[in-house]
Structure 1
């Protein structure tokens, strides 16, 4: 049964396969300013080394702590991977607060599903599982955004109870209640 877990060396082989899939669709290129895009550019050349990969997963896990020095513009964030056994299916970032950029375009929660695992309900399950975690952080309504052209992500957000606010900078902005009784149980 797939679940959200902290980044781990255990799924390195499957993670590397997933990153190849994402790179094949153009992720990590200069215009990709997503978390996965930035990390592909910064770390991908050395991810196959278990020592480097272990440092990478340690770095991702450390981002939750307030005292950690972060790159400019980063806020405390719980990084989680969605896995089924040792198979990496996707990732989710739960940002503990919003800075100006995140309030405008990025939101509290961002997620990616590897191409070969899409259209199976994983993104919906990931977002649904993250909402109680957001609530535990004191976030009563999570801002979740998607590109205006990303119909699949829009459906995920709406299925999880997202209430459309507006469109800004090519992004649709939704507020998703984090209390369990407000989260839809629809697939």
Structure 2
């Protein structure tokens, strides 16, 4: 199984229709299992994906004119060789106090019909490589205590549990750090 991570803010990387179809599939699941959608989460129709979601993804990638509480972030679509969008993952390049508590540097989701096939691990692997290439030394990933699949994925990639905090929804939030290898120019 292979996937390709493409930046959603790059022209022609992934079409708005594919993103909208993905969002509809994810909305049938509990909210904590559809993380990493970033500004796309608030889109309620295809026109909103085009007019506000995708421009906001691009603005976050540029890191300029962000609303209070928002940080620069890169958002990637995980595509199978056939082009099917199987997941979305977001890499937040900074942490606010709120993101330190819940959210962290990375959030991701996998299409409900594609879960339990290893896509989340492949997506996380690619995102961790990109974070290391950007000079990040470690990343924080959080998940709700009830999201066993996400916990397994995080642990399998070296996640170290720091603590568990009460979440805003009443669900405990597990906080994991993953140390990244330094990218060296002489490699």
TM-score by length of structure 1 reads 0.80
1:7-32 deviation line (CA, Å, top 9, x unaligned): 156443332222121222254xxx99
Tell me what 1:79 maps to. 75
Q: What is the alpha-carbon distance in structure 1 between the residues aligned to residue 38 and residue 14 of structure 2?
A: 22
* Conserved? CA contact 1:32–1:38, under 8 Å: no
How far off its partner does 1:132 sit?
Answer: 1.7
Tell me what 2:148 maps to. 151
Q: Any residues of structure 2 matched to 1:12-161 within 5 Å, and which?
A: 12-25=16-29, 27=31, 36=37, 39-41=40-42, 43-45=43-45, 47=46, 49=47, 53=50, 56-66=53-63, 68-84=64-80, 85-161=82-158
Tell me what 2:169 maps to. none
Gaps of 5+ in 2: 167-171
How far off its partner does 1:105 sit?
Answer: 1.2
Gaps of 5+ in 1: 182-187
Tell me what 1:184 maps to. none
> Which structure's residues are more often helix, by fraction?
1
Q: What is the alpha-carbon distance in structure 1 between the residues aligned to residue 14 and residue 130 of structure 2?
A: 23
SS of the counterpart of 1:102?
helix
